[in-house]
Structure 1
Amino acid sequence: MYIGLDLGTSGLKALLIDEAQSVIAEATAPLAVSRPHPGWSEQSPADWLAAASAAMDGLAAAASLSGVKGIGLSGQMHGATLLDASQNVLRPCMLWNDTRSHKEAATLDAAPAWRDVSGNIVFPGFTAPKVMWVRNNEPEIFEKIAMVLLPKDYLRLWLTGEAVSEMSDSAGTSWLDTGKRDWSDPLLAACDLSRETMPRLVEGSEVSGELRKELAERWGLPDGVVVAGGGGDNAASAVGVGVVNAGEAFVSLGTSGVLFAASDAYQPDPATAVHTFCHALPDTWHQMGVILAATDALNWYAGLVGSDAASLTNELGALRSPGRAMFLPYLGGERTPHNDAGIRGSMTGLEHATDRAAGTAAVLEGVTHAVRDSYDALASTGTRFDRLIAVGGGSRSDYWLQAIATSLDMPVQVPVAGDFGGAFGAARLAMMAATGAGAEIAVIPEISKVVEPVKDLTSAFAEAHARYRDTYQALRGLS
């Protein structure tokens, strides 16, 4: 048996699978976010350990863990967990959606070496600018930094006593030479850091350490349980849904939206604001477009009109041609392809005939156009799309999936009901590490249905997407 631990922003999930990769048990523990100032988003690493303890206690209460061979880790990316020489936490962890370091990010990104070596824009959410913010604003803390860890890797330190990270998560720090899959000494030196302040690197499917004996005894695990490198949340989710080979991709309609495509070559293009990261498996990479508000935009609209998201989408019926009303889902800025933290959302083209259903359709179409933006950006780098799988809460809406299929003019596959997220992918990585198995076990789940494009509407969606891009340019001039 194998355990996957997924350290999310709002909670930690523990999942137990057997040798056939069937889910045996699961447990969750909630987490809260602190926002003491505008643009700040923090968590206490001690809360992660408490959540992991609670989730593992719940897993042990639900099933015997005596046959567990490995544990895999997945987690929220980019967080700056700063430790002193005694491995004490120096300050609350600044999370992926903390934007206070936007000035530091712009300063780093202005030096060409950062994009050239890391393969990415230095976004404010990434780890390096956060540490630079600490240097500039909390110098007494910066002077004590002996180790910088990502959130899931702090969990690993507690589980194993080892300071280790892996390639997919580390690629989101801005310090990784993403093509060489190693820390960049010049980029670290530019931040007054060194290789000694960074964790050791392994691949996601490799062993990073063994579970500490006292924790194994507490939860009834045997001696020698290995802990795999694991992956950042999206890379681990890709392993969970089987998107590990070039040409395979998934679109995730969660709070945020992600268009993720696996690649067997390193092909960065930072100017597109596409994220080019290492995958959680050796010698593979991935391209990713990020939409900051997907179901978050629909839930916002549902609150505005006093309804719930499911009721709104159920009212729509068959896919309609895009109307005059147009929604831009930039409620908190946008990543791909705009890299625009200051832009905000807009609903335009309203008329007397615009009713609640028209507004709902406009919101779903707006997110769909944002997915198309990411698709175009990824395709411009040479990324292939042979298969597209839909996951996340928004994938329950047939209307939304048909809009995406029609906009991209390609079928969207929907897996059977089940949990194929970060925790499942982490458990698969644990199986690989414990058994020596490779990517062949990361199979795509059974497909329950295929949503085809509505060919009669593809040109209408293409025209609406062009208007969407024009509207963004006009809106940008006002922001």
Structure 2
Amino acid sequence: MLYIGVDLGTSAAKLLLMDENGKIHKIVSKEYPLYFPHPGWSEQDPKDWFTQSMEGIRELTAECDKSQIAGISFGGQMHGLVALDKNDEVIRPAILWNDGRTEKETDYLNQVIGKEKLSEYTANIAFAGFTAPKILWMKENEPENFARIAKIMLPKDYLAYRLSGVHCTDYSDASGMLLLDVKNKCWSKEMMEICSVTEEQLPKLYESYEVVGTLKPEIAAELGLSENVKVVAGAGDNAAAAVGTGTVGDGMCNISLGTSGTIFISSKTFGVDEHNALHSFDHADGYYHLMGCMLSAASCNKWWMDEILKTAEYSKEQEAITKLGENNVFYLPYLMGERSPHNDPKARAAFIGMSMDTTREEMTQAVLEGVAFGLRDSLEVAKSLGIRIERTKICGGGAKSPLWKKIIANVMNLKVDVIESEEGPGYGGAILAAVGCGEFASVEEAAQKLVKVVDTVEPDAELAAKYEERYQKFRKIYPAVKGLFRELA
């Protein structure tokens, strides 16, 4: 049988077709626009996601035996606010995960409601990107639109709804709304009250591998697929990527170098760090995970290459970088503010340590190292909880760089396992579809059978020691300039 995985990203929908043995038959990517109506705002039109995904499915399945397609599932950008009216029409453009307009609402939740209460209700505190602050912003700034809300959804769930007609979400994605009681897997009555929404306005909750419905007849006809194709709930992009890299079960780790960067640690037991520096979310395997998320990861390198160096030769720029662990230039990777562990939307990117003999290569190296150091910040929080990690999987566009993988391995002092398929959320979505269709008994079983490690980047003791010294300097920079960011803003 064949399974479709849809990775609904920030810049494009990436769709893949996988068989029951985990082999990828075809990959299709369909881009859509991103809008910045004001500085710090970030929006998309949900209809663009649907239109491009439908086009992508048609292209993906054009040459295969369509009768073999059994299920479709998703990995999607998290936290985005999709608001539908009573006719299921989109009320306004979706406010995305990397939108920074909700500082006032985030402060209200953290300072007035209080972080302790939020953590008690949801296992998390408020971050500017989360959905609940966006709901409060809409209530305050667009009261007429707010009054029209009949359903609140997340980006990938809008796709699932358009395909199946079911208003649904899964526990992993819902964990990032600040509306879910993560520990008990139900909507938080207290948070609904705080945000002035009702349970009827929220989608039905599913495990990521559960079937929510089948293709609507008109959708099936349009795509040339059977009406029996199952639509499976799917997961937030990071949880889906973790499934796609086999980061399920207890004590597994995955690092994602996508537009944003994450360090993801799976666990069979629920846990929260005392400062809520890491997100405590439900996982797509039915259990839990801790996650540190930085808002700019591979996007830092993209910005540096595209906007500053004006080159598309990414790998060529890295060829001359040979002196690892000896760079005196440091880079703070906060192009769009930062989430874990600083929770500071006003933080910005910065270079420090340049001199007259600083080279282009050293600054490029600093960008790669700065992202690695930023991820190390979250690893340190996990270590403080007694979690011991010796190795990690890696995925995302940045993972295609051998140099960056080597830097990650040595900055983190972890063995970095490279897997056969680095397709992350899309591959995870296809695996969830296969589990939902009964191909495997559990997500863990599917991951064990389908995810294959093909290479391991080992840390070098001498280089790791050099990076340890560099990291201890890096971690002093943000506290030193934190106050300045507020003044500059």
Residue number in structure 2 paired with 1:63: 64
Confirm whether residue 316 of structure 1 aligns to residue 317 of structure 2: no
Secondary structure of the 1:453 match is: coil
Q: Residues 434, 128 of structure 1: CA spacing in aligned structure 2 closer, same or farther, 3 A cutoff?
A: same
Q: Per-residue CA shift, 1:27-56, capped at 9, x if unaligned?
A: 222111111111221111211221122111
Structure 2 gaps, min length 5: none
Verify the 8 A CA contact 1:368 1:407 in the aligned structure 2.
yes
The runs of 5 or more residues in structure 1 that have no matched partner are none
Task: Map Cα deviations across residues 278-306 of structure 1 (whole Å, 9 max, x no partner).
Answer: 11121x11111112222222233334244
Cα distance in 2 for residues equivalent to 1:224 and 1:306: 49
The alignment's C-alpha RMSD in Å is 1.7
CA contact (8 A) 1:240 1:420 kept: yes
Q: Secondary structure at the match of 1:442?
A: helix
SS at structure 1 position matched to 2:132: helix
Instruction: State whether residues 151 and 203 of structure 2, in contact with CA within 8 Å, keep that contact through their aligned partners in structure 1.
Output: yes
Q: 268, 271, 279: which one pairs with 2:272?
A: 268
Tell me the distance in 1 between the aligned counterparts of 2:34 and 2:310.
26
Map 1:412-423 onto structure 2 (within 5 A): 412-416=416-420, 418-423=421-426
Deviations 1:112-150 (A, max 9, x none): 322222111211111111111111011111111111011
Which residue of 2 is the match for residue 424 of structure 1?
A: 427
1:453 to 444, 451, 459: 459
CA contact (8 A) 2:121 2:190 kept: no
Q: Which residue matches 2:27?
A: 26
**Share of identical aligned residues, percent?**
38
Scaled by the length of structure 2, the TM-score of the pair is 0.93
Q: Which moved more, 1:31-40 or 1:381-390?
A: 381-390
Alignment match, 1:291:
294
The answer on 1:258 being equivalent to 2:262 is: yes
Aligned in 2, Cα 1:204/1:375: closer, same or farther, shift over 3 Å?
same
Q: Deviations over 1:414-452 (max 9, x none)?
A: 123x34321111111111111162120113633232111
**Which residue in 1 is equivalent to 2:120?**
116
Secondary structure at the residue paired with 1:61?
coil
Counterparts of 1:53 and 1:402, CA distance in 2: 38
Q: CA deviation at 1:57?
A: 1.5
Instruction: Name the CA distance, whole Å, in 1 between partners of 2:471 and 2:142.
Output: 45
Does structure 2 retain, via aligned residues, the 8 Å contact 1:431–1:437? no
**Aligned runs of 1:41-440 on 2, under 5 Å?**
41-110=42-111, 111=113, 112-269=116-273, 271-282=275-286, 284-302=287-305, 303-307=307-311, 308-317=313-322, 320-416=324-420, 418-435=421-438, 437-439=441-443, 440=445
* Cα shift at 1:76: 0.9
The Cα of 1:459 is off from its aligned counterpart by 2.5
- Measured in 1, the distance between the counterparts of 2:258 and 2:7 equals 16
User: Alpha carbons of 1:144 and 1:299: their partners in 2 closer, same or farther (altered >3 Å)?
Assistant: closer
Count residues in correspondence: 476
> Does structure 2 retain, via aligned residues, the 8 Å contact 1:415–1:449?
yes
CA distance in 1, matches of 2:122, 2:68: 40
The SS at the match of 1:171 is helix
Distance (whole Å) between structure 1 residues aligned to residue 27 and residue 403 of structure 2: 31
**Residue 475 of structure 1 aligns with which residue?**
481
TM-score (norm 1): 0.95
Rounded to whole Å, the distance in 1 between the matches of 2:168 and 2:13 is 20
Q: Is the 8 A contact 1:275 1:288 kept in 2?
A: yes
